[in-house]
Structure 1
Amino acid sequence: MNLSDPIVEAWSAGGVVDAKEACRILGIKAATLYTYVSRGMLHPVAQPGRKRRLYLRDEIEGLRSRSLARAGHGAVAASALQWGQPVIDTGITEITPDGPRYRGRLAAELVEYPGAFENVAELLWTGILPNGPGTWPAEPLPAESAARLRALMAGLGEAPGMIRAFQAVALALGGKSVDEEVRHGAPITAAKQLVQAFAGCCSLLSARRRYRAPTGDKPLAQHVAEALGHAPVPELVKAVNAMLILSADHELSPPTFSARIAASVGAELHACVGAALAVLSGSGLAGGCDRIEDTLAGIRTRAQLDAWVSQVMRDRARSWAFGIGSYPQGDPRAKQLIRMAREHPRPTRRAEMLFRFLEAVQSEVGVPPRIELGLVALCSAWDLPAGSAGALWAMGRTAGWVAHALEQRLNGFFLRPRGQFHPVPQGGAVLKS
């Protein structure tokens, strides 16, 4: 599949820059740029069949922000919120070239052992990784909360967006003050109950189209598989666990930052998760999974597939599903999930179409996929209903949001960035100082 150079160049002009432009942004000479590369501070983007080196614009801008911060420029505070200097100390997750490390443990390895989301969630919350796979026995909801949940679910309609359904659950189960939550020692219990309720919401995506409360002493991944209308065979349970674990946390992503802001002003746990869900619903995050699934569902022919690849190039693919500043050489989470999808003995036609799409984009531009595409690929391979990828991302990330909310409470200060005021004239243009 060949794309014309103008399309590739149009994409490259927005998402990646050449060496000359990188030097201009950084205010350095070419020799210094190559020194940064040799020291691992910058990572050129692979371009199959091309000699020219390209660089991720986000990585270049991030290096510039860090350089300015070290030089003591006060105005860099604003750019620090765009892949600049860290703005919050945290002991939860570190982003490394091999993927996120939860409390010092590589997420990719946690997928293999203990391989259970419950253990990983407790690691994030307490710093202790329980030995061996464990389960959280399902506990009935309090009568008042259950009634509220039924009423909210009835108002969602037959095919609600899953983030909206999760927000309804958080609203139904919340309501207590943070004082009550803390004094009764309830945060961890509330967190488990919330995640289990999200698993019950997954039944809204199945043929049942109604909430299915988890029951019995089963792994959470089994509850999810059954709610989605599938037999919980061990291979599927492993796949669901992998998606939940690899989604569990990613440092200070925008939704996580929102959860921490809510926690810093004394919001109770459900409200913190609700704030994060509102941000996650954006098309640049979990909404991106839905966008990929919707597009994939409409692909029937090779010509349609070619058109999708070309459209992604024109839209600068990296802005929504390809490339991420955290991993210049590729998102390890996406690689792991796509590998698991390819290992399925009987992948669906949807999955095979997505594999061809990924191969085409990779061969033309060389920028690897993000976790959204990994989640959609594995869900497609197992023929999980549309909406599952975004739902599993939100479920998994809830563990991280809870951990960050609890950590932020211990910090004891409000998160309150400052604004830099610029007067706006009557015509609407901003006056820059």
Structure 2
Amino acid sequence: MTRKQPPTQSRQAAAPAGIAPPGANGWSAGGFVDSREACRLLQVKAATLYTYVSRGLLHPVAQPGRKARLYLREEVEGLRARSQARMGHGAVAATALRWGQPVIDTAITEITPAGPRYRGHLAADLAGFPGAFENVAELLWTGVLPDGASVWPAEPLAEPARRALRGLWPRAGEPADMARLFQAAALALGGGSVDEEVRSGSHIAGARRLLFAFATCCGALSPQRRLRAPSGRKPLAVHVAEALGMPAGESLARAIDTMLILGADHELSPPTFSARVAASVGAELHACVGAALATLSGTGLAGGCDRIEQTLASIQTRAQLDAWIARVVQQRARSLPFGIESYPQGDPRAAQLLRMARSQSRRPRRADTLLRFVDGVQARVGVPPRLELGLVAACAAWDLPAGSAAALWGMGRTAGWVAHALEQRMNGFFLRPRGLFQAAPGEGAMLESKA
């Protein structure tokens, strides 16, 4: 039965400053919709929409100084997908890949309003204690959280990886494509079969070797552009700081550990799903990580960190900053780092990283500029930032070179990818979604001869 559209309201919802108000058919701007548009998408009346809010199914975003509230489009579409899924199994399958029903059982990470929980431990708590990324990586891989701070013995970069990196190493003044460097190192370190890996029990050692290789790759971001392999028995965060050409003090090491830990896993994000698909068909560990890195490089993920840094570098005056804020408020594009369906009331990871950046007393100018940008956008539309902004802000606060945010995200998330690849192997089945064929209009039609 077709539901009636909600009646036209006499009072239109107010749009944020700089954005045209809604018309008769409702208002939508990138990743957000007003109540009228949300009703249209859900095919419900306004009263039902408010019932969804009261039940916690939707989480509206308040606009400072306005009564009208906005809804994250992805959350509205996710609710619509779940409603459609009740029609039968076919509908469930058709909507599951768009933030619909869960499709894979996992014991690794649970997404909660307080942030991701790794095997029962809240990531925010792990960043405080034990505060060492190595401990969190071992927790994800084994399910056991070691007592005391774990320190791994450094492993030299194997010659095949050195050769692969030399061909891609950036020259002075050239930007470093960290996802590509990580991927080249990962694939060069691999090459064996999954059978050999399983028989030798080398997956944990291989995962550590990957992380040390990625720390080496961080030298591509240093002013000297030096390929510096880790040496000595030090925390991985210290190896990363040294590769970046930074003084490896306690404050910086703790900041790097926090960024690595908060980004270590996030359930079935697109890169993690890529890693699990590769693992399900028998790819060895390095290939699984390579598949995930290719996905992470997209502009909607770690590539978004690079875009923020590039824009930030071009902001030299207050007028340029105001124009940047106005452009984000006007466009609200889905690719911009604000609003995430996992956390309708705000990403706790981003909030923690932004607090950490503000706590740094002697911040560089670019860090203050980015924090003013975040505050300006939130003051005008009330939409909280995503992890990308938190990572870039923290890196800027400690004056890390451009590209560090994406690199640290990729390094941290590698721990989660390894855990998911190992778990998927234990599941013992191929991940092979089906496609629902939909013929294009007129496709296959035969022309009638007029001869």
TM-score range, shorter-chain basis?
Answer: over 0.9
Match of 2:280 in 1: 264
1:200 CA drift (Å): 1.0
Once the two structures are TM-superposed, the CA of residue 121 in structure 1 deviates from its matched residue by 0.5
Alignment match, 2:11: none
1:134 to 2:150 alignment: yes
Distance apart, 1:41 and its partner CA: 1.6
**Counterpart for residue 108 of structure 2:** 92
- Tell me what 2:394 maps to: 378
Task: Provide the secondary structure at the position in 1 that maps to 2:147.
Answer: coil
SS state at 2:29 partner: helix
More helix, by proportion: 1
8 Å CA contact 2:366–2:396 kept in 1: the answer is yes
Structure 1 residues 329-408: aligned runs within 5 Å? 329-408=345-424
CA contact (8 A) 2:213 2:229 kept: yes
- Correspondences of 1:44-55 after superposition (within 5 Å): 44-55=60-71
* CA deviation after TM superposition for structure 1 residue 19, in Å: 2.1
Q: How does 1:201-350 map to 2 (within 5 A)?
A: 201-350=217-366
CA contact (8 A) 1:11 1:316 kept: no
Instruction: Please name the residue that 2:18 is paired with.
Output: 4
1:49-64 mapped onto 2 (5 Å cutoff): 49-64=65-80
Report the TM-score when normalising by structure 1: 0.94
Q: CA deviation at 1:8?
A: 10
Structure 1 range deviating more: 55-64 or 66-75: 66-75
Deviation of residue 403 (structure 1)? 0.4
**Which ranges of structure 1 fall in alignment gaps of 5 or more residues?**
none
Contact residue 93 and residue 251 of structure 1 kept, 8 A: yes
Give the superposition deviation at 1:309: 1.4
> 2:121 corresponds to which residue?
105
| SS in structure 2 of the partner of residue 100 of structure 1 | strand
Q: Which residue of 1 aligns with 2:7?
A: none
Q: What per-residue deviation string (whole Å, max 9, x for no partner) do you get for residues 68-108 of structure 1?
A: 22342513422210110011111111111110000011101
- Tell which deviates more after alignment, 10-19 or 388-397: 10-19
Q: Aligned letter for 1:6?
A: A
Question: Following the alignment from structure 1 to structure 2, what is the Cα–Cα distance between the partners of residues 191 and 380?
Answer: 28
Match of 1:37 among 26, 50, 53: 53
2:167 aligned with 1:155: yes
On the 8 A contact 1:121/1:400 being kept in 2, the answer is yes
* Equivalent pair of 2:27/2:36 in contact (CA under 8 Å): no
Q: Is the 8 A contact 2:27 2:33 kept in 1?
A: no
Native 8 Å contact 1:11 1:315 kept in 2? no
Contact kept? 1:273, 1:401, Cα under 8 Å: yes
Alignment identity in percent? 71
Structure 1 residues 7, 27: CA separation in 2 closer, same or farther (over 3 Å shift)? closer
- The 1-side partners of 2:339 and 2:164 are apart by 38
Q: Which ranges in structure 2 are unaligned for 5 or more consecutive residues?
A: 1-15, 446-451
For 2:296 and 2:104, locate their aligned partners in 1 and report how far apart those are by CA, in whole Å.
20
1:204-234 per-residue CA deviation (whole Å, 9 max, x = no partner) reads 1002213211111100001011111111111
Is 1:409 matched up with 2:422?
no
Contact 2:18 2:330 in 1 (8 A): no
1:6 aligns to what SS in structure 2? coil
SS, match of residue 187 in structure 2:
helix
Which has more radius of gyration? 2
CA distance in 1, matches of 2:126, 2:152: 18
SS class of match (1:319)? coil
User: Counterpart amino acid of 1:333?
Assistant: R
Amino acid at match of 1:202: C
TM-score normalised by L of structure 2: 0.90
The answer to whether residue 213 in structure 2 is matched with residue 192 in structure 1 is no
Report deviation, 1:364.
Answer: 0.9
The one-letter code matched in structure 1 to 2:20 is P
Give the distance between the partners of 2:250 and 2:361, measured in 1 at CA. 14
Q: Using the alignment, how far apart are the partners of 1:50 and 1:314 within structure 2?
A: 17
2:43 corresponds in structure 1 to 27
1:7, CA displacement in angstroms?
A: 8.8
2:252 maps to a residue whose letter is: L
Q: How many residues align?
A: 424
Whole-angstrom distance in 2 between the partners of 1:317 and 1:111: 31
* Larger displacement relative to structure 2 (54-63 or 328-337): 54-63
